[in-house]
Structure 1
Amino acid sequence: MTTDNDASTGSRRRPWHELPRSVRRGIEDVLGATVAAATSQKGGFSDGLAARLRLADGRRAFAKAVDADAAPAIAAFHRREGAVNGALPPGVPVPRLLGSYDDQGWVALVFEDVDGALPVQPWREDELARVLDAMTGLARRLTPAPRLDSGDVSPRLGGWARLADSPRSLAKLGVIAPDAARALDRHLALEALLPEATAGETLTHGDLYPFNVLLTGERVVVVDWPHAWTGPAYADLVMLLGSVALSGLDPEPYAARHPLLSGVEREAVDVLISAQAGFLLAAACSMDSADAGTDPRLEAMMTGLGRASVRWLSSRWNGVGRGRVGLG
């Protein structure tokens, strides 16, 4: 489903031939054909299989699978992703779920194969314009949010309070993101407004970074939906613009002219930018680089994106001064 053009993505993929025979058979049963070839994909960060499959009858598909005992959190994400994809209305630009396999030990999802590529990073202007344009239609199709049998989840936002309560994490923050550490009180004040800032009626992707976007000749396809939550229509846009800051571009002109942010209070956007940085940096600061279980690429991605969001927010503060914090 993805192509490997981003060296900053994860490094914990498992090839097709390493899956238990029962899991491979289960995936083939979903497809109704045997797998002739499997090409592992490196886009993204989750453990387990992520492979494009070529079937003996010539068809193609994409499969992801994980050992639930070895990676229970990823297995839970896979199960919820299946539930979310099944609830998305027609016309939403996502890969069609063909079926799933779940023996309680392994969880696998099988999707239609999308012949697309990840956006080039740093962002290219033409590709960024395509994705930003597509986000307006995506938000409209998902408002009001479809009902999910799996229920809603908390957004992957916020983390400043956890950082403040952990001397070890706070010390690491001072090393990897000193600007954020110096502005901790301001971020904590914004985080207190997060419940109000995340209210809304749109199903948002919740992890909308370039490694979850595929560009085909005609479409912008959004993949990997386990973190979907219901909130404001512009939440995914703010998240994506954090990756624009990471590319060395100023996100502010894109934010200023995007229709999803028309009429949105400036402080509400500040809360989401800060909360995004807080989630990423809190996660990075909780990781131990000396631990063999830590994925260094994931830690580097979270640190880079978190620092980029902090820089974007700092530039907004410097542009308008440090007035009151509030949404009213």
Structure 2
Amino acid sequence: MLPGWLDVIAGPVLEATQAPAVGELKGEVLREWGSSEVWRLSYGLRSVIVKRGSDAQTSEGTAYRRFVVPLQLPAPRLIHSVESDESVLLVLADVGRVNLEQEPSAEGFLAAAELLAEVRSKPVDAPSEFTSAQLLDLVRRSPASPALAERLSSVAVGALDQLHEATPARVVHGDYVPKNLVTDGTRWTIVDWPLAYVAPHLSDLYTLVRDAVAVGHQAEPIVARYIDAAGADPSLVQRQLSVGGVAFILRALTWVVEEGVRTVPSSSEWTEPLLAELDDVTKGLR
């Protein structure tokens, strides 16, 4: 069984795998959500990853053009893409069969911290895409209570403004979680870039640490490894982490209420835990 949309990108897939015909390909479903479908297609020892994205996932081709290719970020090589108003089809190099979610080792999380430092070291010729106005818009669109919304408006805005003065905006992956960190046994690669944008905060480090703690690892060594690899000021990183937590949770909440309940129905169960987490993170802002 192969994806029904494969005929649109069959040529590049056959060229990359050297398969004589589509019927000779072996297909393996890696993800099948309402807005994202991902397959590994292989012929012998050669394989590629093909993706179909809709809704928020349609912007991955744009992310490759804006960030991944010009900045030479540690992402899968883009072999081919086809875009329309409703979806994007991508053919990507296969960078490995094991991700950090499958094997959540301490070494893997430390390697991911170093990889993030590499991404954040790349200067970006673009203004921040997470300003105070955008933060307030997310607060308005989120299901936050009036009290939490007021606290966000009065405290998080000031913290974000201070970050813009203290450090330049850099690329944010936007979904820096273990399932999107893949290894071939030698090197790690970041996959799934449709949510990438530019901002001064460290929501990517926040989500990495968050998931590491959830599987029993300590946060401190991961943050320390990032600080060392980036040559960053520890106090600044702590502020970037706090604001990054707010940014990640607000973006996640608005995605759930505006898209997730339709494309991933089970995401409706994430709302209350995310609101509780947002409340905790906001209390830590100064």
Normalising by structure 1, what TM-score?
A: 0.64
**Shift in Å, 1:218:** 0.9
Residue number among 23, 36, 43 corresponding to 2:8 in the alignment: 23
1:266 aligns with 2:254: no
Q: Structure 2: how far apart are the matches of 1:313 and 1:251?
A: 19
**Shift in Å, 1:129:** 2.5
Show CA shifts across 1:176-229 (max 9, x none): xxxx679544334424435335624x5443432222111221111111223444
Residue number among 124, 129, 135 corresponding to 2:110 in the alignment: 129
Show CA shifts across 1:15-39 (max 9, x none): 84332x6425355466464341211
Q: Structure 2: how far apart are the matches of 1:273 and 1:301?
A: 20
**Shift in Å, 1:104:** 5.5
Q: Structure 1: how far apart are the matches of 2:95 and 2:185?
A: 11
Q: Structure 1: how far apart are the matches of 2:248 and 2:133?
A: 5
Q: Is the 8 A contact 1:96 1:112 kept in 2?
A: yes
Q: Is the 8 A contact 1:62 1:111 kept in 2?
A: yes
Q: Is the 8 A contact 1:93 1:138 kept in 2?
A: yes
Matches for 1:155-194 after TM superposition, within 5 Å: 155=130, 161-162=136-137, 165=140, 169-171=143-145, 184=152, 185-194=154-163
1:205 aligns with 2:173: yes
Residue number among 144, 164, 170 corresponding to 2:123 in the alignment: 144
Letter in structure 2 aligned against 1:25: A
Q: Structure 2: how far apart are the matches of 1:218 and 1:226?
A: 25
**Shift in Å, 1:259:** 1.0
Instruction: Give 5+ residue unaligned stretches, structure 2.
Output: none
Q: Is the 8 A contact 1:51 1:64 kept in 2?
A: yes
Name the SS for the 1:110 alignment partner.
strand
Residue number among 78, 84, 94 corresponding to 1:113 in the alignment: 94
Q: Is the 8 A contact 1:241 1:251 kept in 2?
A: yes
Q: Structure 2: how far apart are the matches of 1:159 and 1:205?
A: 17
- What corresponds to 2:50 in structure 1? 63
Letter in structure 2 aligned against 1:61: V
Letter in structure 2 aligned against 1:277: V
Aligned CA-pair RMSD: 4.3
Letter in structure 1 aligned against 2:100: P
1:81 aligns with 2:56: no
- What corresponds to 1:8 in structure 2? none
Q: Is the 8 A contact 1:204 1:228 kept in 2?
A: yes
Bigger proportion of residues as helix: 2
Query: Residues 98 and 157 of structure 1: is their aligned pair in 2 closer, same or farther, counting only changes over 3 Å?
Result: farther
Instruction: Give 5+ residue unaligned stretches, structure 1.
Output: 1-14, 175-179
Matches for 1:271-286 after TM superposition, within 5 Å: 271-281=240-250, 283-284=252-253
Show CA shifts across 1:142-170 (max 9, x none): x334x6xxx6772599976346546x823
Aligned length: 279
Q: Is the 8 A contact 1:169 1:286 kept in 2?
A: no
- What corresponds to 2:77 in structure 1? 96
Q: Structure 2: how far apart are the matches of 1:247 and 1:306?
A: 21
- What corresponds to 1:52 in structure 2? 40
Q: Is the 8 A contact 2:163 2:200 kept in 1?
A: no
Q: Structure 2: how far apart are the matches of 1:302 and 1:208?
A: 19
